[in-house]
Structure 1
Amino acid sequence: MKNDILKVRNIGISAHIDSGKTTLTERILYYTKRIHTIHDVKGKDGVGATMDSMELEKERGITITSAATFCEWQNHEINIIDTPGHVDFTIEVERSLRVLDSAVLVLCSVGGVQSQSITVDQQMKRYKVPCIAFVNKCDRSGANPFRVIRQLKEKLGHNAVTMQIPIGLEADFEGVADIVAMKAVYFDGEKGDDIRVEDIPESILPEALEKREELIDAASMFSDELMEAALEDSVTEEMLMSAIRKGTLTRALTPVFIGSAYKNKGVQPLLDGITNLMPCPSEVENRALDLDNNESELILSSEPKKPTVALAFKLEDGQYGQLTYIRVYQGNLAKGDTVINVRTGKKVKIGRLVRMHANQMEDIGKIPSGYIGALFGVDCASGDTFVAPGIRLTMTSMYVPEPVISLAIVPKDNKAEISMSRALNRFCKEDPTFKVFVSGETGDTIISGMGELHLEV
């Protein structure tokens, strides 16, 4: 584990239903050499995508829990939090956004900006998450990435800038033209492994130059150096990228990449975009509330020598007991440390630390600040903060939406009642939007949650 915080990216891939998010994640894992073959989401090969590790998800072809997984690209470590895209699971999305430093917004080049994209986008605004967009499925008929970019501006109010233009569209989609470097990029080989860089074809050169002008105009707002260079016509790639990065980090620009994950095109440039444009943990301001000081806000620093502050953002029942996903914001968390759970005031000794890859794990000795890992056998609820003894800080409590749908449930017999209450208890602990109560009028057990799909799960 290389500990260079500047080379760490914590990203979420958040998207509209079926815009191809899980397929994109799968390709990212493949190109970063984390998995060696590619499986499709609704597994025709009987395997299913690597991120959807729950059986239920394989059967339905949707993503439910945000599995945190880790990969490396160009010496950068990328932690991907796979967030659910259906409205019913908004608490999961909220929770993963607290933990991310940045996000990739995946949009379908045919469907464009849909209702859920708007919900997710409001959540990103609330947590000030910088993002880049990826317009996927450019190989489908009716694909029109420029319409999607226009919708990003009009419907979501993003200052969206085109980083690439497509070379051919729909069935003729061949590759992308990178308008920062002014090169055409093609993805050869059965799985798009061999990247071939050539000059931009004559037919789209005028369009590429025009889009490049627009990009420089938008980016020069963030760099005087670039503005001067633009007037003298001496813009370099580095200058342009650093200006775009400045704009992206303050959420004032949203760079847009295009491709087709299913056809293995455009994924590697997106990875370059993530490493070049997205913030590292020390560039993001994380605030905590100081309980000794009337909940006043404190800014955490990612110094490893400071006292530890970490947030448990997700619980799962693994085969070895409760698995707690955790993000360290300050200091580091090592095996054998004693930390305090701020909510309960109890001391917790850290036993086994692991780093997750969808559903396999590797053991590690410590989690430094800015990193994401998981703990075993620690009793806590999601949203709990762990701190070093001697300080009382809590990461801001998360905003929990009111449940929108309720159902009455009745167990078959006495034995079923015991196991039902056990299961419901676990759901309540894992998911704050899930509520259970006994109706005073009918004596039925009532459960309420964020939608039919949510309750069915």
Structure 2
Amino acid sequence: MSSTHPEIEKRKTFAIISHPDAGKTTLTEKFLLFGGAINTAGAVKRNKANQSNTSDFMEIERQRGISVATSVMGFEYQGKRINILDTPGHKDFAEDTYRTLSAVDSVILVVDSVKGVEEQTLRLMEVCRMRNTPVIIFINKMDREGKDAFDLLDELENSLHISVCPLSWPIGQGHTFKGIYNIYQNQLNLFEANKSKVTAPLIQAKNLDDDVLKSHLQPAEVDKLKYELEMVEGIYGRLDKEMYLEGLLCPVFFGSAINNFGIRELLDTFISIAPGPASRQTEQREVKATDPAFTGFVFKIHANLDPNHRDRIAFLRICSGKFERNKFYYHTRLGKKLKFANPMDFMANEKSLVEEAWPGDVIGLYDSGNFKIGDTLTEGENLQFKGIPSFSPEIFKEVENRDPLKTKQLEKGLQQLTEEGVAQLFVQQPGNRKIVGTVGNLQFEVISFRLEHEYGAKCAFRTLSFSRSKWISSKDKNALQDIIKRRASHIAHDKDGNPVYLGDSDWAINLAKQDFPEIEFHATSDFMG
């Protein structure tokens, strides 16, 4: 397969990330609207009383108005195949977002023009920096009275420790907001606000001296725009595409997703500059997108996507080669061959059958329990993709069964939900105590809601004093057995049977390190070979 294979060239796979309420899900939906994948915003609805966004398909998401599950949407636009992974904005689901970022080639980060850089914006950007993921920033809600555009750019550079380069510029803000000047293509588009349909630009001016401007903008507005664009050019210069692709520079766009302002500029430029499918590192070697043999990895598992069917879907990112329906592939962790009769393509909550898929694509595989997050599929080569770790949880609660007659359903539900990555399950002996660990309290709500509604099991959670966890290992097997025996009340085992040390403070963990010098303490499960 040559480096310019047309199917690989066509793919652009990215995630949209943001602090909650910055407008990420609205932007996702407007991309689908501009791409012709849906006809009107909010087109995919349950009923008139409950108008939910296209990508929020879990009941609890509709009730809470937040995205807690990453959804995948594909559409065609200008001859490209666009794969969007919408991510949970809520900080309690940072781990799910982190895993999703392992499956994309670039990111669009949405920032609220009123609030600027927020706590979750910082955390998400840190993850992008860890991976050197190319990031484009979209400053949303310019139709509201917010921070000055130059102040926002300063805040982005200072808070996120990254260089920025504006590629579009707002004309006014809040009640004076008129539209966007496209710096990248040197043209001005003035839009009418329209929340549900894509409208043609009110006017398209070739430059700032175009006579057509005078009927829509005051002379003072044109002068201000010229002055600001000169300043932008002087301060930020032209886009250095290589720096963007290396993750060192963020192109910035302004707009209002709800009103369709600035979306087309963002989408058209994204198509032009964003990277295609990138190489991925395995423990054995680097896998290039152009390698002829098929490889892919599971970065997410979702149970009961369709409430009418008890299904589990594993989301697989294709890294190289071509995936074909009904062909046998090698599951490297289990050491066995599997074939898939009904691989799925996604458009929000609509699914269609896939005959073949290419690097950059994300497909859904029906799963009867073969997959865990991080699993690799190949054509026979023994590979394991890297960089999809479990993180140390910060909140630990013991599961109490509220209905002893439903013990089996509870165990099955807990196992499936934790394999999905909603939370982590630890088992403590004696007594087979089930402990759920998460990074935020919202996950416990999600777990108990889904256990009841999907598995018919009721449970309560008893808060434990632990707030720290470290995976433990040692080259000395006797030393490992010693800590497990002597500190039994602090030891639990994860889903793979690896021992984890639980403590109630950093001080307690450090004390354990001093008491057991032969033991290594790890913040993530990534160290496991």
> 1:114 offset after TM fit, Å?
0.9
Aligned-partner SS, 1:17: coil
Matched, 1:102 2:106: yes
Superposition RMSD on alpha carbons, in Å? 2.3
Aligned counterpart, 2:232:
211
Aligned counterpart, 1:430:
420
> Residues 192 and 175 (structure 1 numbering): CA distance in 2 closer, same or farther, change over 3 Å?
farther
> 1:149 offset after TM fit, Å?
1.5
Aligned counterpart, 1:301:
288
> 1:55 offset after TM fit, Å?
1.3
Matched, 1:385 2:388: no
> 1:3 offset after TM fit, Å?
5.1
Take 2:299 and 2:18, find their aligned partners in 1: how far apart are those partners? Answer: 20
From 245, 263, 275, give the equivalent of 2:241. Answer: 245
> 1:62 offset after TM fit, Å?
0.4
> Residues 24 and 37 (structure 1 numbering): CA distance in 2 closer, same or farther, change over 3 Å?
same
Aligned-partner SS, 1:194: coil
From 435, 444, 453, give the equivalent of 1:455. Answer: 444
Q: Deviations over 1:136-158 (max 9, x none)?
A: 01111234333222111001111
Q: Are 1:73 and 1:271, in contact at CA under 8 Å, matched by a contact in 2?
A: no
Aligned counterpart, 1:10:
13
> Residues 189 and 23 (structure 1 numbering): CA distance in 2 closer, same or farther, change over 3 Å?
closer
Aligned counterpart, 2:63:
59
> Residues 144 and 437 (structure 1 numbering): CA distance in 2 closer, same or farther, change over 3 Å?
farther
Take 1:270 and 1:437, find their aligned partners in 2: how far apart are those partners? Answer: 47
Unaligned runs of 5+ in 2: 209-221, 447-529
Aligned counterpart, 2:358:
368
Aligned counterpart, 2:199:
193
Take 1:417 and 1:39, find their aligned partners in 2: how far apart are those partners? Answer: 40
Q: Are 1:436 and 1:446, in contact at CA under 8 Å, matched by a contact in 2?
A: yes
Q: Are 2:415 and 2:425, in contact at CA under 8 Å, matched by a contact in 1?
A: no
Take 1:456 and 1:182, find their aligned partners in 2: how far apart are those partners? Answer: 49
Take 2:422 and 2:93, find their aligned partners in 1: how far apart are those partners? Answer: 11
> 1:25 offset after TM fit, Å?
0.6
Matched, 1:269 2:275: no
> 1:193 offset after TM fit, Å?
1.8
Aligned counterpart, 2:219:
none
Matched, 1:289 2:283: yes
Aligned counterpart, 2:54:
50
When normalised by structure 1's length, the TM-score is 0.86
Q: Are 1:177 and 1:208, in contact at CA under 8 Å, matched by a contact in 2?
A: no
> 1:440 offset after TM fit, Å?
4.7
> 1:111 offset after TM fit, Å?
0.8
Take 1:367 and 1:157, find their aligned partners in 2: how far apart are those partners? Answer: 37
Aligned counterpart, 1:314:
300
Aligned counterpart, 1:396:
386
> 1:445 offset after TM fit, Å?
3.9
Aligned counterpart, 2:31:
28
Take 1:58 and 1:432, find their aligned partners in 2: how far apart are those partners? Answer: 17
Q: Are 1:112 and 1:151, in contact at CA under 8 Å, matched by a contact in 2?
A: yes
Aligned counterpart, 1:237:
none
Aligned counterpart, 2:126:
122
> 1:388 offset after TM fit, Å?
0.8
Letter in 1 for 2:394: V
Unaligned runs of 5+ in 1: 220-242, 291-297
Q: Deviations over 1:204-244 (max 9, x none)?
A: 1111122123343xx4xxxxxxxxxxxxxxxxxxxxxxx53
Letter in 1 for 2:441: E
Take 2:236 and 2:200, find their aligned partners in 1: how far apart are those partners? Answer: 28
How many matched pairs? 419
Q: Are 1:402 and 1:433, in contact at CA under 8 Å, matched by a contact in 2?
A: no
> 1:418 offset after TM fit, Å?
2.3
Take 2:301 and 2:382, find their aligned partners in 1: how far apart are those partners? Answer: 23
Matched, 1:148 2:139: no
Matched, 1:158 2:162: yes
> Residues 169 and 417 (structure 1 numbering): CA distance in 2 closer, same or farther, change over 3 Å?
same
Q: Deviations over 1:88-136 (max 9, x none)?
A: 1122111111110000010000111111111111111111210100000
